[in-house]
A and B are shown apart, each in its own frame.
Chain A
Amino acid sequence: MNVGSIVKYYRMKHNLTQAELCEGICSISHLSKIESNKYVPHQETLEELFTRMNIEWNQEVDVYLAHREKLEKFITYSVYYDLKSMEALYAELERNRDYLQSTDLINRYELYKLRYYLFQQNRQRATQQMRILAKLESTFDEYERGAAKVFYLIYYVSTRNKEKAKEIVGRIEDSQGWVPQLFEGEFYYQNAWLSQRNTEYGKSSYFAELAINQFQKDCNYLRLMHAQMLQAVNYANRDLYLQAEGLFKTLLRNARLMDEISLYEGVLYNYSMLQNRRGHHKSAYLLLKELKSLITPEIPLYASVLIHMLQTAAEEGLEMDHLLEELEILLQGKDDPYLTIQLNYFRKLKFSQRDLFDYCEQIVFPFLKEHGYIGEARRFAWRLANYYRSIGHYEKADEYAIYFYEKGEKMT
Chain B
Amino acid sequence: MKRKWSVAFLAVLFVAVVGTGNAFATIQVNDEMSTYTTGNGNLHPPDVMPPQ
Interface residues of A, Cβ cutoff 8 Å to B? 81, 118, 154, 157-158, 190, 193, 196-197, 202, 225-227, 229-230, 233, 236-239, 263, 265-266, 269-270, 273, 276-279, 281, 301, 303-304, 307-308, 311, 314-315, 341-342, 345, 364, 373, 375-376, 379-380, 382-383, 386, 404-405, 408-411
Partner of A277, one of B39, B48, B51: B39
Q: Which residues of chain A come closer than 8 Å to B50, judged between CB atoms?
A: 193, 225-227, 229-230, 263, 266
The minimal Cβ–Cβ distance linking A364 to chain B, given in whole angstroms, is 7
Q: By the criterion CB–CB under 8 Å, are B32 and A279 in contact?
A: no
Lowest 10 CB-CB distances: which A-B pairs, in order? A226-B50, A266-B48, A304-B45, A276-B39, A311-B42, A229-B50, A233-B47, A408-B33, A269-B48, A277-B40
Q: By the criterion CB–CB under 8 Å, are A314 and B40 in contact?
A: no
Q: Which residues of chain B come closer than 8 Å to A308, judged between CB atoms?
A: 44-45
15 contacts between A and B (CB under 8 A): A154-B52, A158-B52, A196-B49, A233-B47, A239-B34, A269-B48, A276-B39, A278-B39, A379-B37, A379-B40, A379-B43, A383-B41, A386-B37, A405-B30, A408-B32
B38 near A: Cβ within 8 Å? yes
Partner of B40, one of A154, A276, A410: A276
* Bound form: Cα–Cα A230–B52 in Å: 11
B28 near A: Cβ within 8 Å? yes
B46 near A: Cβ within 8 Å? yes
Residues from 10 to 50 in B contacting A, C-beta threshold 8 Å: 28-30, 32-50
Q: By the criterion CB–CB under 8 Å, are B42 and A270 in contact?
A: no
Q: By the criterion CB–CB under 8 Å, are A238 and B39 in contact?
A: no
Partner of B42, one of A230, A238, A301, A314: A314
The minimal Cβ–Cβ distance linking A141 to chain B, given in whole angstroms, is 26
A284 nearest in chain B by CB position: B39
Partner of A279, one of B39, B44, B46, B47: B39
The minimal Cβ–Cβ distance linking A302 to chain B, given in whole angstroms, is 11
**Given A266-B50, A270-B48, A409:B33 Cβ within 8 A:** yes
Q: By the criterion CB–CB under 8 Å, are B46 and A375 in contact?
A: yes
Q: Which residues of chain B come closer than 8 Å to A190, judged between CB atoms?
A: 52
Q: How many chain B residues have a CB neighbour from A under 8 Å?
A: 24
**Given A273-B47, A409-B30, A410-B30, A383:B37 Cβ within 8 A:** yes
Q: By the criterion CB–CB under 8 Å, are B32 and A197 in contact?
A: no
* Bound form: Cα–Cα A47–B34 in Å: 72
Q: By the criterion CB–CB under 8 Å, are B39 and A408 in contact?
A: no
Q: Which residues of chain A come closer than 8 Å to B52, judged between CB atoms?
A: 118, 154, 157-158, 190, 193
Q: Which residues of chain A come closer than 8 Å to B47, judged between CB atoms?
A: 233, 236-237, 269-270, 273
* Bound form: Cα–Cα A269–B47 in Å: 8
The minimal Cβ–Cβ distance linking A43 to chain B, given in whole angstroms, is 48
Q: By the criterion CB–CB under 8 Å, are A197 and B42 in contact?
A: no
Partner of A364, one of B29, B39, B43, B44: B43
* Bound form: Cα–Cα A316–B11 in Å: 60
Q: By the criterion CB–CB under 8 Å, are B41 and A382 in contact?
A: yes
Q: Which residues of chain B come closer than 8 Å to A273, judged between CB atoms?
A: 44, 47
**Given A226-B51, A266-B48, A405-B29, A237:B34 Cβ within 8 A:** yes
* Bound form: Cα–Cα A159–B35 in Å: 31
B42 nearest in chain A by CB position: A311
**Given A226-B50, A230-B49, A411-B28, A345:B43 Cβ within 8 A:** yes
Q: By the criterion CB–CB under 8 Å, are B39 and A376 in contact?
A: no
A276 nearest in chain B by CB position: B39
* Bound form: Cα–Cα A375–B35 in Å: 12
The minimal Cβ–Cβ distance linking B42 to chain A, given in whole angstroms, is 4
Q: Which residues of chain B come closer than 8 Å to A278, judged between CB atoms?
A: 39
The minimal Cβ–Cβ distance linking A220 to chain B, given in whole angstroms, is 13
